[in-house]
Amino acid sequence: ESQRNVNAKIVLLPGDGIGPEVTEEGRKILVEVAEKFGHKFEFESHPIGGNAIDDFGDPLPEATLNACRNADGILLGAVGGPKWDDPTAKTRPEAGLLKIRKELGLFANLRPITTHEFLLDSSPLRREIVEGTDIFFVRELTGGIYFGDSNLEQNADGSETATSTMVYSTHEIERVVRVAAKAAQGRSGHLTSVDKANVLEASRLWRKVAERVVREEFPDLKYDVVLVDAMAMHLISRPSTFDVVVTGNMFGDILTDEGSMLPGSMGLLPSASLGSDGPGLYEPIHGSAPDIAGLGIANPLATILAAAMLLRHSLNLDDEAKAIEAAVDAVLSAGHRTKDLAKDGEVSLGTIEMGQKVIEAL
């Protein structure tokens, strides 16, 4: 049992598609934790994404953003769907995501890629290759080419020229490398930084600063540097040789998605986005899955594991986080499966039933 009793304000951003269904199971597990460990969590739910565009003309309404600023932690479901995919639309659900990251200064995106024995045969990789993979990605999330200047110019001859600028400064690189290096200290002590320093000026600064931070502040880590193209190969040829991997916003977008294929299901992968202070944002890495929205069959486990990350990183409740993770492991070990995890012919649980199993195991 935890020694402190914590009061916390948690903002729920259910979003679109299956978002509301899985977020509700995340909320229930947090309620259970509060009860069991003597904490007091207050919940507030706010719109984000496509439904917020429909209702307020804005994928991140001001009221949502303000509530987030005043929260201790934020649990997000998922945003988007075909309804809001029109490229000529004035705004799109993703704009809400990018804005909340920037406004709350969530510069470090943590994406653990863990594998489970029972899923190994569902991985697109051979069992021998993927077995033992346990990668902790740290992706820079508020800089790089996502937020640099961009421009669209009409040329005299009727053609157009578009630019997007990748920009990194010393301070931005330092702080995210520190997050990754600290994570490596708490794991196997191995940090890999990924860049494209043989071509990009922005990557050359990244490499220089990352190396200095590690050398000066984390000299005990095993540290190496890999080019992004090589990393795209190594991730599938020898994924189990990595521990913590830190990289910029764009490379992280591509590599973490590539990595998300390894475990054989995205249904168990949470992610956390943290700033230097203020609330963190926690979410499953899967999307809003509009095709199964409302059917009650979505897998809530990634969201439940995101709730565990919220407890660990935003409320400093590591025991409670571990309790949730252990409960999820126990439920999986007992053979309980949602539809996405079930083999052909295996019985599968619905969203609410699966959430209930985890609560019982807690």
Give the residue ranges of the annotated binding site: 81-94, 101, 111, 139, 229, 253, 257, 287-299
- Verify binding: residue 5, a second copy, rule CB under 8 A: no
| Of residues 286, 229, 318, 210, the one with CA closest to residue 22 | 286
User: Do 246 and 172 touch, CB atoms closer than 8 A?
Assistant: no
- Confirm or reject binding of residue 103 to a second copy (CB under 8 A): no
Across the beta sheet with 190-195, the strand order is 40-45, 7-15, 73-78, 280-284, 270-274, 108-114, 134-140, 244-247, 190-195, 222-227
| Contact pick of 28, 39, 207, 337 for a second copy (by CB under 8 A) | 207
Say if residues 138 and 244 touch (Cβ distance below 8 Å).
Answer: yes
By C-beta, is 98 or 225 nearer to ligand IPM?
98
Q: Select the binding partner of residue 156 from a second copy, ligand IPM, none (C-beta < 5 to 8 A, by kind).
A: none
Shortest Cβ 41–ligand IPM spacing (Å): 26
As given in the structure block, the two tokens for residue 97 are 């995501």
As annotated, the active-site residues are: 146, 196, 229, 253, 257
Q: For binding to ligand IPM (CB under 6 A), which residues are involved?
A: 94, 97-98, 198-199, 229, 253
CB of 79 to ligand IPM, least distance (A): 8
User: Three-state SS for 226?
Assistant: strand
- Enumerate the β-bridge partners of residue 76: 13
Q: Which is nearer to a second copy, 129 or 352 (CB)?
A: 129
Binding residues for substrate: 101, 111, 139, 229
Tokens of 123: 């991985």
- Tokens representing 197 are 């320093």
* C-beta nearest to ligand IPM: residue: 94
Pair 17, 287: CB distance under 8 Å: yes
Instruction: Determine the Cα–Cα distance for residues 251 and 270; give it in Å rounded to an integer.
Output: 19
Single out the segment in contact with a second copy by CB under 8 A; choices: 22-30, 185-193, 201-209, 312-320. Answer: 201-209
Decide if residue 167 touches a second copy (CB under 8 A): yes
In sequence order, which residues have a C-beta less than 8 Å from that of residue 164 and are 6 or more positions away? Answer: 145, 148, 150
Q: Is 203 in the site for a second copy (CB under 8 A)?
A: yes
Q: Which is nearer to ligand IPM, 89 or 199 (CB)?
A: 199
- Least distance from C-beta 97 to ligand IPM, angstroms? 6
Q: Which of 300, 198, 176, 312 is nearest to 244 (CA)?
A: 176
Positions at the binding site for Mg(2+) = 229, 253, 257
Q: Which residues pair with 289 in a beta bridge?
A: none
For residue 257, the Cα-to-chain-centroid distance in whole angstroms is 10
Question: What's the farthest any 2 CA atoms get from each other in the chain?
Answer: 71
Q: Please state the closest distance from residue 1 (CB atom) to a second copy, in A.
A: 41
DSSP state of 342: P
The span of 35-43, 106-114, 225-233, 291-299 binding a second copy (CB under 8 A) equals 225-233
The CB-of-251 to ligand IPM minimum distance in angstroms stands at 11
Binding to a second copy by residue 228, rule CB under 8 A?
yes
Binding of a second copy at residue 117 (CB under 8 A)?
A: no
Hey, which residues does 154 pair with through a beta bridge? 160
Q: Enumerate binding residues for a second copy (CB under 8 A).
A: 87, 92, 94, 98, 123-126, 129, 145-146, 148, 150-152, 155, 159-171, 196-207, 228-230, 232-233, 235-237, 250-251, 253-255, 257-258, 260-261
